């Protein structure tokens, strides 16, 4: 089986490593438009519960992350000049750049192919530019159907559907039509 992962952020890299780990015969390829060490933000915070999930899924990644962690259990809430300390909240944090490095290394070790500075083939054929000024400025491909809230008045039948999300093209007629 061939798996193509669009985006080598923490989510894409971790998914790729787990998919390969579960079945080494899979051909897993990650396409990342930015360079390996391009990133934004400062650190990533994990609760004990999240760390438990990571440890269950991949002890190697969990161990390498643990080497980097700053840990704490208290949260201070300051209100009207008084500070209240609430203990027993287990958290750990590490640099986002380090997290990406750990996950990139894990992907390499498992045999996941990671292409940096390369748009995913599907988005290249949809006419997107191959140069990016910022990771957050990618245009939405014209063909993409992005769900969004519909501003048209809702019929009684539609109101019963509580999901609240409508396709981009709204076929409901307005009351005046």
Ligand X SMILES: Cc1cc2nc3c(=O)[nH]c(=O)nc-3n(C[C@H](O)[C@H](O)[C@H](O)COP(=O)(O)OP(=O)(O)OC[C@H]3O[C@@H](n4cnc5c(N)ncnc54)[C@H](O)[C@@H]3O)c2cc1C
How many residues in the chain? 177
d(CA 40, CA 97) in angstroms, rounded, equals 8
Which one of 70, 75, 86, 138 is in contact with ligand X (CB under 6 A)? 138
DSSP assigned state of 135: T
Site for ligand X in 16-75 (CB under 6 A): 31-34, 40-45
Residue 7 binding ligand X, by CB under 6 A: yes
Which residues contact residue 8 at a Cβ distance below 8 angstroms, ignoring those fewer than 6 apart? 30, 31, 32, 34, 36, 100, 104, 114, 116
Of 119 and 166, which CB lies nearer to ligand X in the complex structure?
Answer: 119
Residue closest to ligand X when measured from CB atoms? 9
Between residue 77 and residue 116, which ones bind ligand X under the rule CB under 6 A?
96
Which residues make up the interface to ligand X (CB under 6 A)?
A: 6-12, 31-34, 40-45, 96, 119-120, 123, 135-136, 138
């Amino acid at each position: 089986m061939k798996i193509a992962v669009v985006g080598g952020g923490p989510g894409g890299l971790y998914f790729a490593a787990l998919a390969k780990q579960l079945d080494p015969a899979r051909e897993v390829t990650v396409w990342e438009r930015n360079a390996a060490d391009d990133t934004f933000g400062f650190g990533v915070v994990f609760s004990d519960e999240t760390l438990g999930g990571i440890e269950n899924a991949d002890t190697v990644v969990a161990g390498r992350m643990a080497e980097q962690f700053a840990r704490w259990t208290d949260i201070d809430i300051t209100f009207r000049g008084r500070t209240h300390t609430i203990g027993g909240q287990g958290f750990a944090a590490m640099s986002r750049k380090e997290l990406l490095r750990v996950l990139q290394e894990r992907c390499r070790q498992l045999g996941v192919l990671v292409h940096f500075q390369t748009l995913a083939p599907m988005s290249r054929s949809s006419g997107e530019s191959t140069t990016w000024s910022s990771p957050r400025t990618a245009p939405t491909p014209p063909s993409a159907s992005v769900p969004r809230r519909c501003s048209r008045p809702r019929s009684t039948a539609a109101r019963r559907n509580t999901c609240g999300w409508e396709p981009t093209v709204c076929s409901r007629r307005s009351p005046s039509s």
